[in-house]
Structure 1
Amino acid sequence: MRPARLVAVFAITFCLASPQAFAQYSGMSMRTGPSMNVGPRININPTIRYSPNIRYDGYDDPRPRPRIIQELNQGPPDDGYTPRRGASKAKAKSKPAATDNTYVAKEVLIEIAGSPTDAQADDIARRHRLTRVQSQNFPLTDSTFFRWRITDGRSVDAVVRELVAGGNVRAAQRNNIFKLQQNAPPAAVKSEGDPLQYALSKMRLPEAHALSVGADVTIAVIDSGVDVTHPELAGVITGTFDALNNGEGPHHHGTSIAGVIASHARLMGTAPSSHLLAIRAFGSQKSGAESTSFLILKSLDYAIAKNAKIINMSFAGPHDPAMERGLAAAAAKDIVLVAAAGNAGAKSPPLYPAADRNVIAVTATDQSDRLFAQSNRGSYVAISAPGVDILSPAPDGKYQMSSGTSLSAAYVSGVAALIIARNPEISSADVRATLTSTARDLGPKGRDDQFGAGQADAFSAVSAVIPAPVAAASDSTSKR
């Protein structure tokens, strides 16, 4: 046998015996990129339960941005982080489970009008063979919500049907699961952010900031934990609420979203003088940062009680009747509601709350004005904003590069704050109309299912708003 044939036979036998050996033999070995102290890399995949509306960059390409992030983080050049090898392991651990992961198993969410007594609630629970877990009165909907556990073999949907047929509750449903969709010189020298912040020029934010910086407008960020001690967020966090109440620390996603809105040190946020309510409704789990209908309703109630003018929701999940009622009540109070359109891809059905009729759904674009590949499409998409390779704060005073419609939603929430600060008397409907009518058209001419009305243009939007008379603006500010 010729030597060449011997080599071929050996290679085939070697590859069949070891898949890892095959990867190395065929040139598919994992290449380790430069190491940085900027947090983990998360690859986007609609079936992965971790932060499907945001993606953390692996920093394994030769472009200069990793070195800049290293400088921002002031960390050693090698912390043992191997992006590609780690990303491969993350994929292996993220195989979808066989069960339905869109709602909490063996749990139902029940809404009862007004404020029922414990005896009334216990009577309903006993009648339907349920165990009470948690309850909360919601002035927002003039009702009380209960989480009840199913202790026998009945399915969630079967119990929901029983409760509705019983006629003693206003509504009953699954407790749905929602998932998060994710400088160099000092600010005194460089007041409009880092060069990597391409969104600033795309949205004409420096020009917009000459007219408005979002002063005193309160934005509620319903997300994972925010690093309230990060230098980029100094002085802007005016309230915090932990819907989970379990003491978890700050998280990459929540800190990033807050930073996109209000950074004002080495980076420049969209509305650097706004006030943020950092609301933690998403807890870190092995499967990723997730929340439920009940926790998000608690968070909405807090945001409205604290007079938020804008609520940013960078998460996505199934249609939820209870949340739909809560969002309608918030819209009735003239609150601007903004959400990530979702990162489940072109074939995904509409995701909520973005697809709710009272919500501004935001999709993501990159530095070349192309649509983020994982973005959802659909008639509910209202507008787009930069959301690919976005430089933002990370926990422990660090910085990160990430992508997703989560970040785009945060940019639009910030522009809404600029508009409201320009004229505090403007209605939420007019804020939406201003955002879409001044957007820079992308894709097919006119509105389309990919980019919505186009890319948000902060300067055009703020310029289109007639400033309120000084007295009216002053009165409104005193009420906030």
Structure 2
Amino acid sequence: MRLPARLAFVSTLLAAAAATAVAQPSDLAQQNAQRAIEAASRVQERASRAQETSAAAQERAGRVLDLPARAAEAASAGLRMASRDNVPAFASAQFARFRDLVRSHEQVLELVDRFPAVRGEIVAIDPAPGALDTARKHGLAIVNDETVEGIDTRYVTFRVPAGESLQKAVAELQRIAPETRFTANYIHVQSGSSSSARAKARLAISSEVTAPAIGIIDGGVAESVLLPKLNQRGFAAGAPLPNAHGTAVASLAAGTGRIKSGSPGAPLLIADVYGNDPKGGNSLALARALGWMAERKVPVVVVSLVGPANPIVASAIEKVQAQGMLVVAPVGNGGPAAPPMYPAAYPNVVGVTGVDSRNRALVEAGRGDHVDFAAPGANILAVGRNGALVRVRGTSFAAPLVAGRAWRASGAGRVAALVRESEDLGRSGPDPVFGRGLVCGSCR
């Protein structure tokens, strides 16, 4: 099989995994996605070996598989999958995942410009005088009015009348009250998979954490002897609740023993924004979690989630950054042609991609100017939902390694410390595939 055909097969496997992920229970979906991605990676590995049998083939592998100077363009072309609209497979699968998530929870979620959001909810951020009356006159009812401590921001949530388009209602409110920011309450999803088996899990016992901790905004963390002292709080219905993804992320930030984490033994502050809530991962939950982190003076927080740009999370991140907090996030698994994912693409957020055991960028990883650093993101050990060790893959699991490394530095020097540690990959200097280079290369 020629190289483009092999890459098309890789993209087909990964697209199938991502597109079906939300139609099943979350842990089982993650297992199936992981198996498909691993199978695709083995195909990629065999293709690489076969191509290395001649000098010409080796050059082609260097251009396409090892992703140096022209990697983003080559990978995007190689992974392009034949379809009616000719959309690259990973990006197409990513939006299929969003669509299927909404279909699974149609009573509480809807699509807004291809992204999931809480059905019928519009949020006003620090509304100007008169904006609330204007919204009421247009048939919107206030369902919640709160000020989030730590970021000192007021959020007023309105309910859109049944049958009215949420997207059109937001646009109309923004037109008639331009001095106030109005937005849908968008959903963020986890960006990685593990081979964790479904099993009953016990929630990790919260302890009082007084020292500056690494903050994690994700799912709840399960009990494990490999995890350090931690404190967790829920920001969704049923939270905190043990979560395979959240537990793995926490273990890679500060796990001990066989876990090669970014900062072994560092205290953790866990914000569970999922619980068992179908609206879990919404923007208001992230803003509340960031406010809590700010109140607790967390110096570094990792948000191993992806979603669309929205002013709720953007403004909350601006507020915590102004207080000195460093925010780290994965660039996502939508592939080379996917649009930038957030929060990684917000200004001054450290965007992290993942590499495999040969320091090749994950074929499913996002690309772009928002990629700041790379870290191991394939076939690495983490703690699973049942407390056992599992293999994980995805940019979600590279991000906590970088966050752990940043936590070990101090103050304004955290990013500089990452730069000093980084090993340049790909073309010389920063690039859209590896950013400034590999951090925590020994963390595998």
Which of 226, 230, 233 is equivalent to 1:232?
226
Is 1:390 aligned to 2:355, yes or no?
no
1:96-119 residue CA offsets vs partner (Å, 9 max, x unmatched): 4485443233221112359x9xxx
Q: 1:250: how far off?
A: 0.4
Which of 431, 438, 441 is equivalent to 1:448?
431
Looking at structure 1, the residues matched to 229 and 260 of structure 2 have their Cα atoms a distance apart, in angstroms, of: 13
Q: 1:295: how far off?
A: 0.9
Asked if the contact 2:239/2:273 (under 8 Å) is kept, the reply is no
SS where residue 326 of structure 1 aligns?
A: helix
Looking at structure 1, the residues matched to 98 and 373 of structure 2 have their Cα atoms a distance apart, in angstroms, of: 32
Looking at structure 2, the residues matched to 277 and 160 of structure 1 have their Cα atoms a distance apart, in angstroms, of: 34
Is 1:147 aligned to 2:120, yes or no?
no
SS where residue 162 of structure 1 aligns?
A: helix
CA distance 1:266–1:433, shift in 2 (3 Å): closer
2:18 aligns with 45
Alignment of 1:31-430 (within 5 A): 44-45=17-18, 48-49=21-22, 56-57=34-35, 96-97=99-100, 100-113=114-127, 123=133, 126-167=136-177, 170-182=180-192, 216-227=211-222, 229-233=223-227, 235-237=228-230, 239-247=231-239, 249-284=241-276, 290-420=280-410, 426-427=411-412, 430=413
**Letter paired with 1:109:** V
Q: 1:121: how far off?
A: 9.0
Q: 1:273: how far off?
A: 2.6
Which of 393, 414, 424 is equivalent to 1:431?
414
**Letter paired with 1:148:** F
Asked if the contact 1:363/1:384 (under 8 Å) is kept, the reply is yes
Q: 1:277: how far off?
A: 0.7
Asked if the contact 1:132/1:146 (under 8 Å) is kept, the reply is yes
SS where residue 172 of structure 1 aligns?
A: strand
SS where residue 136 of structure 1 aligns?
A: strand
Q: 1:225: how far off?
A: 1.4
CA distance 1:268–1:369, shift in 2 (3 Å): closer
Q: 1:146: how far off?
A: 2.3
Asked if the contact 1:141/1:325 (under 8 Å) is kept, the reply is no
**Letter paired with 1:440:** E
Q: 1:133: how far off?
A: 3.2
CA distance 1:276–1:260, shift in 2 (3 Å): same
Asked if the contact 1:256/1:392 (under 8 Å) is kept, the reply is yes
Q: 1:290: how far off?
A: 4.8
Looking at structure 2, the residues matched to 385 and 59 of structure 1 have their Cα atoms a distance apart, in angstroms, of: 18
**Letter paired with 1:138:** V
Looking at structure 2, the residues matched to 169 and 283 of structure 1 have their Cα atoms a distance apart, in angstroms, of: 35
SS where residue 406 of structure 2 aligns?
A: helix
Asked if the contact 2:131/2:180 (under 8 Å) is kept, the reply is no
SS where residue 225 of structure 1 aligns?
A: coil
CA distance 1:42–1:312, shift in 2 (3 Å): farther
Structure 1 unmatched ranges of 5 or more: 1-40, 62-90, 183-214, 421-425, 460-480
Asked if the contact 2:237/2:276 (under 8 Å) is kept, the reply is no
SS where residue 267 of structure 1 aligns?
A: coil
TM-score (norm 2): 0.69
Q: 1:94: how far off?
A: 6.4
Looking at structure 1, the residues matched to 98 and 188 of structure 2 have their Cα atoms a distance apart, in angstroms, of: 18
Structure 2 unmatched ranges of 5 or more: 1-13, 40-93, 104-110, 193-209
TM-score (norm 1): 0.64
Looking at structure 2, the residues matched to 46 and 377 of structure 1 have their Cα atoms a distance apart, in angstroms, of: 20
1:165-216 residue CA offsets vs partner (Å, 9 max, x unmatched): 443973111111111111xxxxxxxxxxxxxxxxxxxxxxxxxxxxxxxx94
Q: 1:139: how far off?
A: 3.8
CA distance 1:442–1:94, shift in 2 (3 Å): closer
CA distance 1:246–1:134, shift in 2 (3 Å): farther
Looking at structure 1, the residues matched to 267 and 38 of structure 2 have their Cα atoms a distance apart, in angstroms, of: 36
CA distance 1:446–1:325, shift in 2 (3 Å): same
SS where residue 18 of structure 2 aligns?
A: coil
Looking at structure 2, the residues matched to 150 and 59 of structure 1 have their Cα atoms a distance apart, in angstroms, of: 40
Q: 1:299: how far off?
A: 0.8
Q: 1:280: how far off?
A: 0.4
When the two structures are aligned, how many residues end up with a matched partner? Answer: 341
Asked if the contact 2:262/2:440 (under 8 Å) is kept, the reply is no
Asked if the contact 1:53/1:180 (under 8 Å) is kept, the reply is no
Q: 1:144: how far off?
A: 1.2
